[in-house]
Amino acid sequence: MIEKSLKNIISKKSIELGFDKIGFADPKEDIDPNKYLDKWIESKYHGTMQWMESRKKERADIFNYFPEVQTVISLAFNYFTKRSSEFSEDYNSKIKFSNYAWGEDYHEIIKKKLHDIKNEILKHDPSIKIILCVDTAPIMEKQWAQKAGIGWQGKNTNLLTKELGSWVFLAEILIDKRLDYDSPFEEDLCGSCTACIDSCPTNALTEYKIDSNKCISYLTIEYREDFENEDLHNWIYGCDVCQEVCPWNIKFEKIKKDKHFEARDSLINFFKSDWENLNEENFKSSFKNSAVKRTKYKGLKRNIDSLR
């Protein structure tokens, strides 16, 4: 039996909480018909991210992660406040810093919103089983967003939307209740454009595929070893180049008025002067409750030292 009113309840609550797009997908959809994940891992494009390989079966088949799932709910949250290149220019700084990490840790902010939606679902039906996912769960979130009708995976491998471009956080709610499914997003609106590929400073991109070993975001965040001759092109945390040159972003990006993701004062001070004298104390004060803790003090210090 298809539950109809619950879909409206979830959609309404998600918009109230600031999500910009929501879609509902059939978990039986084949999200990787060409075995992209297998080929990507076989090519060692995942670098040192061994969790991608160790939980491959769950990523490839959502029923291996949540056997009872009957609906995959995908949500997109616009986080764009300003371009990283503009931010650096504002403070006459040589360093560049991915804009998704300027404010609070999105994992915590988005997860809290998902819990609010979960509570709304349980008010409607306390028997429903629910799993909340924000980035770290072993599912292919961009593929599920496409199956839920939110957008398409572009040549830069980011999820692109017609209304907002790619400046969106993705999240999922998995439930063991059948809801009305939305139609998948079938179009590829990248067309013949190769701006992201042509502009990638390390040639990490080919069409719809990324080699993490070359990607500045991977190198500055996930990679844990010392650098040899890597050129980070002044990026010390993440990299936004492939998003900044995307025509969909240039035309449709919208500033999100959300204080959680605006640049914090400590980051502004960091840009002005502290980055040159980074120590554990100002790392902790500048990046408290920030996604930057992912790379740790040692990683950020290594990234900065590589610029000299």
Determine contact, residues 63/69, Cβ cutoff 8 Å.
yes
Chain mean pLDDT for the chain: 94
Domain hosting 132: range is: 5-81+100-175
Has residue 114 got a pLDDT over 80?
Answer: yes
Q: Give the whole-angstrom CA distance, residue 114 versus residue 48.
A: 30
Per the domain annotation, does 33 fall within a domain?
A: yes
Give just the sign of the alpha carbon dihedral 31, 114, 241, 227: negative
Share of the chain above pLDDT 90, in %: 85
Q: Is the pLDDT of residue 308 over 80?
A: no
The enclosing domain of 169 has a CATH number of 3.40.109
pLDDT at 127: 97
Q: Are residues 22 and 157 in the same domain?
A: yes
Percent of the chain topping pLDDT 70: 100
Q: What confidence tens digit (pLDDT) does each residue in 182-202 have? A: 999 999 999 999 999 999 999
Taking alpha carbons only, the member of 156, 178, 133 closest to residue 243 is 156
Distance CA 13, CA 261 (A): 20
Q: What is the pLDDT of residue 276?
A: 84
Three-class DSSP category at 3: strand
**Has 135 been annotated as catalytic?**
yes
- Mean pLDDT value across residues 74-88: 93
Strand intervals (E) in 186-267: 205-206, 209-210, 235-237
Both 164 and 288 in a single domain? no
Residue 159 predicted with pLDDT over 90: yes
Residue type (1 letter), 17: L
Same structural domain, 30 and 76: yes
pLDDT at 124 over 90: yes
pLDDT for the residue 305: 92
Q: For residue 123, which amino acid is it? A: K
Is it the case that residue 264 has pLDDT exceeding 90? no
Categorize the per-residue pLDDT at 274 as very low, low, confident or very high, splitting at 50, 70 and 90: confident
> 20 and 160 share a domain?
yes
How much is the average pLDDT of 108-114? 97
Residue 18 has pLDDT above 70, yes or no: yes
> Residue 62: which pLDDT band, with cuts at 50, 70 and 90?
very high
Query: Which of 32, 61, 135, 176 is the catalytic position?
Result: 135
Q: Is the pLDDT of residue 2 over 80?
A: no
Q: Is residue 271 part of a domain?
A: yes
For residue 19, the model assigns a pLDDT of: 98
Are residues 10 and 125 located together in one domain of the fold? yes
Cα–Cα distance, 112 to 7 (Å, whole number): 20
Q: Is the pLDDT of residue 1 over 70?
A: no
* pLDDT value for 92: 79
Residues 19 and 159 in one domain: yes
pLDDT at 235: 96
pLDDT of residue 38: 95
Beta bridge partner(s), residue 22: 75
Choosing from 140, 175, 210, the residue where a domain stops is 175
Query: Do 163 and 208 belong to one domain?
Result: no
226-242 pLDDT, tens digit per residue, is 998 899 999 999 999 99
Q: Return all residues near 17 (Cβ < 8 A) that are at least 6 apart.
A: 113, 116, 117
The SS3 of residue 152 is strand
Check residue 265 and give its pLDDT. 86
Show which of 119, 144, 175 is a domain's final residue: 175
| 37 and 152 inside one domain | yes
Each residue of 22-45: pLDDT tens digit?
999 999 999 999 999 999 999 999
**pLDDT average, residue stretch 47-63:** 95
Tell which of 125, 143, 175 closes a domain: 175
Question: What is the SS3 assignment for 179?
Answer: strand
In this structure, the answer to whether residues 169 and 200 fall within a common structural domain is no
Q: Are residues 77 and 207 in the same domain?
A: no
Are 167 and 286 within one domain?
no
Whole-model pTM: value is: 0.95
Q: What pLDDT does residue 272 have? A: 81
Side chain identity, residue 116: D
